């Protein structure tokens, strides 16, 4: 098993993942940080102070799961409390979630409730433009226009949440509040550049960074296999270190 010891603490990769990754010829380590089960009563700053800060070295970066940050900000809502509009129902039925195939990864925006929250985040005009663009480009083999135009924050809406941990299977997740502001707050407190990252089977995007010069391509390359996992790993934080 791949293992690394740092300041007396052992880091092990999540199942099926690796600590090391090559980014354009440069090796990086992604050290997953385990935490207790998170709720809206937790403080992400306190979690970073307790579980991450003792292991930081000069040049390290902190990656924070946007899903975990949203939970600690109480950016969750019970699915049963969401009342979908007719537009949400119409669009949800046109999202192919590949149910019944090996490509299925969850219902997400293909549920009327998930699409309703998506629309609320992006706004009706933007969603209508995105849907029209998708209708034109998809037959041409160009995919992703709907999400590209709708924006990263709307895309991060998850319904139901892609955790297998109860009770979050009964909740939808909204985007975290002011992720860039949070990342700057972490940088100020602990001296490490910080990225709030949305990583899943669809890909990797940042929702906020402490430094505008951190390139989106680097964030994708270093986290492209989602080392934090997408299930019950309870590793919502990672230290990214140039090896």
The model's pLDDT over 113-123, given as tens digits with 9 standing for 90+, comes to 999 999 999 99
Tokens 């209508």 belong to which residue?
A: 128
Res 168: pLDDT? 79
Least confident of 25-29, 134-138, 166-170: 166-170
Q: Has this prediction a pTM greater than 0.85?
A: yes
Confidence of residue 1 (pLDDT cuts 50, 70, 90): very low
The pair of structure tokens assigned to 29 is: 């380590």
What is the rounded radius of gyration, in angstroms, for the C-alpha atoms of the chain? 18
pLDDT digits (tens, 9 = 90+) for 71-111: 999 999 999 999 999 999 999 988 876 555 665 556 678 88
pLDDT digits (tens, 9 = 90+) for 142-189: 888 998 999 999 989 987 655 567 777 888 899 999 999 999 999 999
SS (H, E, C) 140-201: HCCCCHHHHHHCHHHHCCECCCCCCCCCHHHEEECCCCCHHHHHHHHHHHHCCEEEEEEEEC
What is the domain partition of the chain in residue ranges?
Answer: 4-75+176-242, 78-173
Homologous superfamily (CATH) of 4-75+176-242 is: CofE-like (3.30.1330.100)
Interval 213-227 mean pLDDT: 95
pLDDT digits (tens, 9 = 90+) for 35-58: 998 999 999 999 999 999 999 999
């Amino acid at each position: 098993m791949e293992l690394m010891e740092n300041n007396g603490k052992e880091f092990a990769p999540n199942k099926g993942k690796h600590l090391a990754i090559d980014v354009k010829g440069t090796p990086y380590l992604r050290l997953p940080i385990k935490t207790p089960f998170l709720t809206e009563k937790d403080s992400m700053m306190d979690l970073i102070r307790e579980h991450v800060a003792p292991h930081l070295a000069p040049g390290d970066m902190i990656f924070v799961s946007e899903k975990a940050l949203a939970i600690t900000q109480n950016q969750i809502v019970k699915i049963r409390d969401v009342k979908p509009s007719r537009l949400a129902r119409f669009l949800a039925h046109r999202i192919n979630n590949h149910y019944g195939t090996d490509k299925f990864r969850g219902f997400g925006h293909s549920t009327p409730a998930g699409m309703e929250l998506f629309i609320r985040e992006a706004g009706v005009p933007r969603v209508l433009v995105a849907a029209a663009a998708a209708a034109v480009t998809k037959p041409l083999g160009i995919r992703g226009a709907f999400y590209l135009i709708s924006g990263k924050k709307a895309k991060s809406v998850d319904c139901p949440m892609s955790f297998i941990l109860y009770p979050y299977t009964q909740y939808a997740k909204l985007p975290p509040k002011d992720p860039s502001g949070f990342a700057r707050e972490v940088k100020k407190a602990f001296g490490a550049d910080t990225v709030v990252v949305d990583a899943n089977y669809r890909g990797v995007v940042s929702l906020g960074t402490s430094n505008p010069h951190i390139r989106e391509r680097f964030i994708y390359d270093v986290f492209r296999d989602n080392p934090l996992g997408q299930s019950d790993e309870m590793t919502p934080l990672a230290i990214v270190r140039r090896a």
